[in-house]
Chain A
């Protein structure tokens, strides 16, 4: 079956998706379909959507880090100019070893997104044309978009902040006043008294 914009869209799309085993789908709005599936079945889904439903446009691939579950979530945003629906296909893959298949064969733009995700999250895509650095050429720290990388702490260590000594502040300090709360102080959670006790 080839999907046409005149057919009863949601029904036919859902019918098509039944071919993928273990897939769950949910309409979030008339033009947004969320699909959750096993990582192994994603290539089949993509082939199906591109080949038979006109989803030629890979809008983006997004990666989300879920360290608590030790997983990466990959979301493939696919748009069909014919039926005017965006499918968001969600898969989860283990954070270790963090390897997945490239979809470059089907979608050229995947090269950019996969390279970006590799650079920012450290997730490797087998078969992607170039996993070389692009944005962070001078960076040898951990992939920064991983949740365990504390960007703010890194910045605080890395840079010397301007130490202002304006005249007005000196005057106030001479009178016994001065800085009480620096912006850094309110950006961290205060320790709780009962945590100290234990």
Chain B
């Protein structure tokens, strides 16, 4: 089998043939380091303009060679998911495996083609290096081992949320998104690299990395426990949160961010409600403090504060003007996005902490603020923004011109009203989409066809509304006309509303970034309709304060002025939520926690 026979006893002369090598040139190697291969795994380079300090490299490092260092002067922006930290490498530990490169979510990290470093004992510090793009010795070596598409260790694609098709969903208010199944949730959770950017970006600093990890581990109750550490609006935020977390997600730099919101929703839906209640109430103080707190407004801000204070043993009463608690999450957000039974669950948890919620009590009418103050040790105002703003364009006082929130309110209350045959909505935000899509559903139910136009000042790609909302609205047959500035409602001789006149928008802001739209009159359009809906924002109704208190309080641009803890200039009065700090549920929740902490501190101080 072998080409040399085993029986070959060899020859003494054979090696002499090697003398031929004397005639050949010697093999020489240059003293300079040889250039390394294109793919070389040498010392790190890190593009600091791309690196966000997420520390994923540190987590994958098998030799514990990476230390995160905070560098003052670099951009630190939790909202965008950027930290002023960068990885430093201990070359006493690094083994140049390059897993840090393959996993780097932004692609900032690479290994260079530089591979020589020597030093004497006294210079051992030179083994600890903070690489930037100039490399270990500032010599700008070329990149060696760098990220390639087929070698990425980050999964850039999110699990698709199952949803109802437009035809299925348009004629009803059933929830359009169906939620992840177990397998999808597991896969989605497994994409997370645990960088915690989401936690930093979240107004209430939810423990998203922890609950995502718990979901991945199949410990759903633990996930719920993590969620309740910071957010009693758990079901609600699992469905409608504005998810700053996902904007900050490291994976989002090159791919789709982790569906943090849908994972929260999944965990909340997966654990039985009675268990959720037990988990949420863990740590509740048993002995009452004897202190009484009145909270005006049963929205996210008021109820979050109520939940916290009740868990700390205070007697909390919430006064809510409307028939059911939940605030705008119930009376504004349409059912197809947030079913009422999920709101009921969140509220039930809060109630079970001992919070007394009294509905149909409007403070200022049914009970005065003074009465409340007399019976309580602290009062919290969390009124939200209930009044729709008006455009005040000509003829907008017509009876067929409505505010979006008023109509949404009627829809929740199941109050009958004339569903427009043809509606024009003014505004390009989420509220505009909510009313447009709600009306579209009602039209489909009652007339069999959708006839809603949404007009807004901005170009469509700059609408305030969530891109998903716009996409879904279009799917449902809603017409969007962008760059339209409303100029007046058109009324016919009989006094009937027949349309909305708009001009084409040239620019919205002036050079000082102030709101000052400029129009092109030639681009005039009449949008025919029988109803106009204004969805351009809401304002607070603070009439319950009365003249004396309004005088006494300090104000800030039309809002009650509060300090960082939510305390007003009156020692007994706090304020939270949309009326002082917008704009969404999770901010209201964060605010609720803040005021609760402050109220508790003051009350416990009084007790001493």
Contact = CB atoms under 8 A, between A and B. Distances in A.
A30 interface: no
- The interface residues of chain A, by DSSP majority, are classed as mixed
Given A162-B127, A179-B67, A186 B55 contact: yes
B72 A183 contact: no
A169 interface: yes
B126 A183 contact: no
B585 interface: no
Contacts of B58: 181, 183, 186
Interface stretch (A5-13, A55-63, A79-87, A170-178): A170-178
A177 B70 contact: yes
Contacts, number: 72
A184 B64 contact: yes
Give the one of B128, B210, B225 with max A CB within 10 A.
B128
A168 B222 CA distance: 42
Contacts of B70: 172, 177-180
Give the one of B68, B222, B283 with max A CB within 10 A.
B68
Contacts of B523: none
A84 to B, nearest CB: 21
A162 B92 contact: yes
Contacts of A176: 72
A13 B84 CA distance: 65
Contacts of B155: none
Contacts of A193: 229
A187 to B, nearest CB: 6
A182 B66 CA distance: 7
A183 B69 contact: no
A182 B70 CA distance: 12
Contacts of B346: none
A180 B126 contact: no
Contacts of A180: 68-70, 85
A97 interface: no
A70 B493 CA distance: 93
Given A186-B59, A193-B229, A194-B225, A172 B124 contact: no
B173 to A, nearest CB: 38
Interface in B28-69: 55, 58-59, 61, 64-69
A166 interface: yes
Given A165-B125, A194-B225, A194-B282, A181 B71 contact: no
A181 B68 contact: yes
A22 B59 CA distance: 46
B506 interface: no
A187 B71 contact: no
Contacts of B64: 183-184, 187
Nearest to B207: A193
Contacts of B68: 179-181
Contacts of B125: 164-167
Contacts of A179: 67-70, 88
Contacts of A175: 72-73
Given A175-B72, A181-B67, A194 B128 contact: no
Contacts of B71: 172, 177
A164 B127 contact: yes
Interface in B186-211: 210
Contacts of A166: 125-126, 128-129
A166 B131 CA distance: 13
A184 B58 CA distance: 10
Interface in A5-46: none
Nearest to A197: B283
Contacts of B479: none
B67 to A, nearest CB: 5
Contact of A172 (B69, B126, B127, B129): B69
A126 B266 CA distance: 55
Nearest to B283: A197
A136 B55 CA distance: 37
Contacts of B65: 183
Contacts of A165: 125
B584 interface: no
A197 B67 CA distance: 31
Contacts of B130: 168-169
Given A164-B127, A169-B128, A172-B72, A182 B67 contact: yes
B66 A183 contact: yes
Nearest to A189: B213
Nearest to B282: A194
Contacts of A167: 125
Nearest to B66: A183
A114 B128 CA distance: 43
Interface string B283-296: 10000000000000
Which A-B residue pairs are the 5 nearest by beta carbons? A183-B64, A164-B128, A166-B125, A181-B68, A177-B70
26 contacts: A164-B124, A166-B126, A169-B88, A169-B130, A172-B70, A172-B72, A175-B72, A176-B72, A177-B70, A177-B72, A179-B67, A179-B69, A180-B68, A180-B70, A180-B85, A181-B58, A181-B85, A183-B65, A183-B66, A184-B64, A186-B59, A190-B210, A193-B229, A194-B225, A194-B282, A194-B283
Given A164-B125, A180-B85, A197-B283, 8 more contacts: A165-B125, A177-B69, A177-B84, A178-B69, A179-B67, A179-B68, A179-B69, A180-B69
